[in-house]
A and B are shown apart, each in its own frame.
Chain A
Amino acid sequence: MMDPSRFRDIAKQVMALADGTAVEVLLATQKEGLTRFGNNVVTQHIETGNSELVIRVLQGKRQGKAGCNQFDRATLERTVRKAVLLASIQCDDSTLLPLPMSQEYRPLSHYVSDTPLVTPDEKIDLIRFAVGSCKKKKTSAAGIFSHGMQAVGLANSNGLFAYNAYTSAGFSVTVMAKDSSGWADATDPDIHAVHPEQLTAVALEKALAGRNPKALPPGQYDVILEPAAVAELLLFMAWDGFGALPYMEGRSFVSGKLGQKVLNDRVTITDDVYHPQTLGLNFDYEGMPRRCVVLVDHGVAKAVVHDRKTAKETGAESTGHALPLPNTNGPMPLNLVLAAGGSSVDEMVASTSRGLLITHFHYTNILDPVPLMITGMTRDGVFLVEKGKVKQPVKNFRFTESVVKAFNQIEALGRETAYAHAFWGGGIVCPAAKIRGFNFSSATRF
């Protein structure tokens, strides 16, 4: 883990070595401990750390970039030389922007100093206590307990300097019974806010409730999705919908539709790194301040996120959502928040005549970007709801459904939001949701 003052020193050295050339220095530094368990015992247990530097130089309308993870003078010299050489052999790129000037950032700290300090022994004791309850019920627990810190620093030869760090602790557990499973997961900057025992109890209860699942035919069902399942749908909106590049190229569901009603009235989506339940940085990979952006307001498409380049091309302002430059994705929202509604999962169940209650989804993937047609499997607990009551566990389904259609058929959103990961990662803040007529295209054997 490299602290801001050491980063400042190294950035200065790099700028001196670049000798008057415009230069940007990007640091990514991290430290992580992760304990994996399976079949109620520890299976893997690691501690690692690394710091990586990426040096981008600009010579007029040309850029070059090179990276390293050693910071002795010889390595820094070699890396700067490589970046300069790469810049010198490029053709002029008329759209390349000069480096930004120094910026002011809204304070943000998702950093809790206790989180990185947990010892291997303390983690094992917490896991042992949690899986003890599973052993007693003749079930088997598998999962992870992780903790660490990450920081990103960005400095450039125009005097811009940014550095932000956050901590993260995570516990995720799957409990397996003979023909069923349950799952629970939590991530928080504060390790004391992550409770392995409680999470394991939730997963265990689900696994036990899911025993003897019955097979139902695929088809359309009303669904009540827990937050992790909702996050899975939102991730594809973030990747394929709310970035300026797919928007500009006609590949997004909001292309040509800003100001128009695109989703159900109940849906308000922002990208907000300052939300207390999310994790992230208060600047982007150009060093621009990350703004909170309202993307959809009560169903009306309001905006997409920008970096400096897409902003310039469309006459907008950067919203501070650049990825490391150059890149092929354009800007991307990394901290989606779906605003809470006024319901609870119990109320959603009570209002459902026939439907399915779903814990989360597995291995989702996109089939068609504009309707956001995606597929994936249900996982770790699917329950039939009839006449307002949870009736019966059922076997897993594959869904093939348009996220745009599904978000137009939302009937209720939960009062509480959670920070949830999708299968492909990312972290999204969202509530549970009740959606009418969700399409399950096939069944599986368990």
Chain B
Amino acid sequence: MRDLTAIALNTAKSHGAPYADIRILQITVEDLTVRNGELGEMRQDESLGFGVRVIVDGAWGFAASPSLNKKDIRTTTIQACRIAKASAKLKKGNVRLTKEDVVDTAWQTPLVIDPFRVPVTEKLDLLFRIDEILRKDRRIKSAESTMGCVRERQWLATSEGTFIDQTLTRTGAGYAATAVENGEVQKRSYPMSFGGQYMGMGYELVKGLALIENAERTRDEAVALLTAKPCPSGKKDLILDGTQLALQIHESMGHPSELDRVLGIEENYAGRSFLTTEKYGKFRYGSDQVTLMADSTVPGGLATFGYDDDGVRAQRWPIVQNGIFVGYHTNREFAPVIKQNSRGCCRADSWASLPMIRITNVSLMPGDRTPDELIADTKDGILMCTNKSWSIDQMRYNFQFGCEVGWEIKKGKLGAMLKNCTYQGITPEFWGSCDAVCDGDHWTLWGVVNCGKGQPGQTAEMSHGAAPARFRKVTVGVGRK
């Protein structure tokens, strides 16, 4: 590969680029879905290509191609230089990258069982067994069981001398049962919604998920929801389970702490952030109980890697420390704005995409309570589990989430099941109302595999660890029919 990467770097240099990098990427994907006793999805795809990023006249240029040969590497690199030169006609200052260590190294996701070596028959057999259990009630009109794995091998070479051969593997599985009766539609998923639980590890994850063991309960809860009480409207104390908290963290803390978004780069699509730079280091984002750490080194995270696409090493740093906002997601281009080195958050979703700041694994640090204690000392509340719907405004203040299921909490005891659960809040007020977080025994790293950002849109993966937590006097039951 070094002979190929050298062609791009030398061509860029001779076309006036003081900085250039090339990523050659080979992506292998396998997705299997069983729906209602039939094959719902089957993908075994491979994709190979390269992207060249250059700075010429102080501006970026990027071009990509699937044709991995000397001639096309040369022409694609020249095109990237031409794009950069054109872009330099409309710039404020020159792009300046932080100075980072030059490395020549390799890294790969640690695995116990390579998911690509597990026979497809074994995987399909598991999915069909789950499907059979889910459909044992006639009111289940849609049963979907999914399993997937991805391997990305990337060779990154920069004009500064960095060369990184990195292989990332992600694996996951899950299922959902949808019950329908008389115009009522209710869904339950396991272990979490939108495809299940995914992690940066091998097939050992799937083996440990207890998928079969939870299928009957998941099906029965979906059916029970058809006749459950609707979520009441008003202010209630709210306990969220870890899977819902994962998405709450993602939307209300992950995205707002992306420095490019703060600076207005994402304005036209996903919007900005209220966490503007004058708030850095002093803004009260949440209660003392709230500490959020970003960590691209945590074992099993979907955003766990050796190096990002800028060639910067994976790190762990605080985003919120005891309620105070203290950290951003950054890359080599934007970190100088806050006078720091890069936090190593620059990632692209394929060889054809431009790397940009992406959320890493951001987790709510465990507290010292247990879920039983939390329920026992809640007088009038709701426990909500598993995300169903999510939405947040363009500054990341006003959010509204829907959950698959809830349970009333009355005088310290779990009561009736609730359907169509929703809650709404304003980010700093909501996290400010957090008065208890459960302990490390109840903490899990949950995967998000559908994080969209950028134009053209890119999809990234990351994990968010959380244990159940309680929030006081939250608006629930929005927009009831």
Q: Which residues on A are within 8 Å of B, measured CB to CB?
A: 32, 34-52, 54, 63-70, 75, 79, 82-83, 86, 89-91, 93, 95, 119-121, 123-125, 127-128, 131, 140, 142-144, 146, 172-174, 176, 183, 249-251, 255, 326-328, 362-371, 373, 375-377, 379, 396, 398, 400-402, 425, 439, 441-446
Contacts and interface: CB of A to CB of B under 8 A. Distances in A.
Contact of A442 (B263, B388, B424, B455): B424
29 contacts: A41-B91, A45-B61, A46-B83, A46-B354, A47-B62, A47-B79, A50-B47, A50-B49, A52-B45, A63-B42, A64-B42, A66-B45, A70-B48, A82-B44, A124-B89, A124-B90, A140-B264, A146-B455, A326-B38, A326-B40, A328-B33, A362-B271, A362-B393, A362-B394, A366-B389, A367-B389, A375-B389, A425-B457, A441-B424
B183 A250 contact: yes
A79 B63 CA distance: 27
B35 A444 contact: no
Given A32-B456, A396-B393, A441-B478, A68 B354 contact: no
A442 B427 CA distance: 13
B479 A367 contact: yes
Nearest to A446: B395
B395 A445 contact: yes
Contact of B60 (A45, A89, A327): A45
Contacts of B267: 38, 142, 174, 176
A327 to B, nearest CB: 6
B107 interface: no
A370 B183 contact: yes
Interface in B250-289: 263-268, 271, 274
Contacts of B400: 375, 398, 400, 441-442
B92 A41 contact: yes
B362 interface: no
B71 to A, nearest CB: 15
Given A36-B268, A365-B391, A445-B395, 19 more contacts: A38-B264, A39-B263, A41-B92, A44-B265, A44-B356, A46-B64, A50-B49, A50-B352, A66-B44, A75-B46, A79-B46, A86-B42, A119-B86, A121-B86, A128-B89, A250-B180, A328-B41, A444-B398, A445-B398
B66 A398 contact: no
Contacts of A443: 398
Contact of A120 (B64, B82, B124, B266): B82
Contact of B39 (A39, A41, A63, A146): A63
Interface in B362-398: 388-395, 397-398
A328 B389 contact: no
Question: Chain B interface residue count: which class?
Answer: 35 or more
B3 interface: no
A79 B356 CA distance: 32
A188 B67 CA distance: 29
A286 to B, nearest CB: 16
Interface in B326-384: 352-354, 356
Interface in B36-87: 38-49, 51, 59-66, 79, 82-87
A54 B42 CA distance: 11
Nearest to B271: A362
B433 to A, nearest CB: 16
B97 interface: no
Contacts of A93: 38-39
B141 interface: yes
B124 A89 contact: yes
A40 B49 CA distance: 32
Contact of B398 (A38, A40, A68, A442): A442
A-B CB proximity, top 8 nearest: A400-B479, A67-B45, A142-B267, A120-B86, A444-B398, A328-B40, A249-B141, A48-B64
B185 interface: yes
B46 A69 contact: yes
Given A36-B455, A326-B41, A445-B426, A375 B90 contact: no
Nearest to A49: B65
Contact of B268 (A54, A69, A120, A142): A142
B428 to A, nearest CB: 10
A200 B393 CA distance: 23
A366 B66 CA distance: 37
Contacts of A396: 393, 398
B450 to A, nearest CB: 11
B473 to A, nearest CB: 15
B481 interface: yes
B478 A400 contact: yes
B243 interface: no
Interface of B: 33, 35, 38-49, 51, 59-66, 79, 82-87, 89-92, 120-121, 124, 128, 141-142, 144, 178, 180-181, 183-185, 263-268, 271, 274, 352-354, 356, 388-395, 397-398, 400, 402, 420, 422, 424, 426, 455-457, 475, 478-479, 481
A44 to B, nearest CB: 6
B40 A127 contact: no
B422 A367 contact: yes
A82 B215 CA distance: 31
B391 A45 contact: no
Contacts of A370: 183-185
A278 B224 CA distance: 43
B393 A363 contact: yes
Contacts of B352: 48-50
Contact of B90 (A128, A251, A327, A369): A128
Contact of B87 (A35, A48, A90, A398): A35
B248 to A, nearest CB: 14
Given A46-B83, A328-B41, A364 B391 contact: yes
Contacts of A251: 141-142, 178, 180, 185
Given A375-B389, A441-B479, A123 B86 contact: yes
B268 A173 contact: yes
B48 A69 contact: yes
Q: Which of A35, A42, A86, A255 has the most CB of B within 10 A?
A: A42
Contact of A327 (B40, B390, B420, B455): B40
A86 B46 CA distance: 15
B63 A48 contact: yes
Nearest to A364: B391
Contacts of A174: 267-268
B60 A44 contact: yes
B132 to A, nearest CB: 12
Given A50-B49, A144-B268, A124 B86 contact: yes
A90 B42 CA distance: 11
A401 B478 CA distance: 10
Contacts of A41: 90-92
Given A41-B92, A46-B64, A89-B124, A445 B397 contact: yes
Given A65-B43, A89-B124, A47 B456 contact: no
Nearest to B139: A250
Given A82-B44, A120-B83, A46 B92 contact: no
B395 A444 contact: yes
A49 B144 CA distance: 33
Q: Which of B63, B91, B264, B391 has the most CB of A within 10 A?
A: B391
Contacts of A121: 86, 89
Nearest to A253: B183
A47 B40 contact: no
A24 to B, nearest CB: 13
Given A34-B455, A46-B83, A377 B393 contact: yes
A188 B266 CA distance: 23
B391 A377 contact: yes
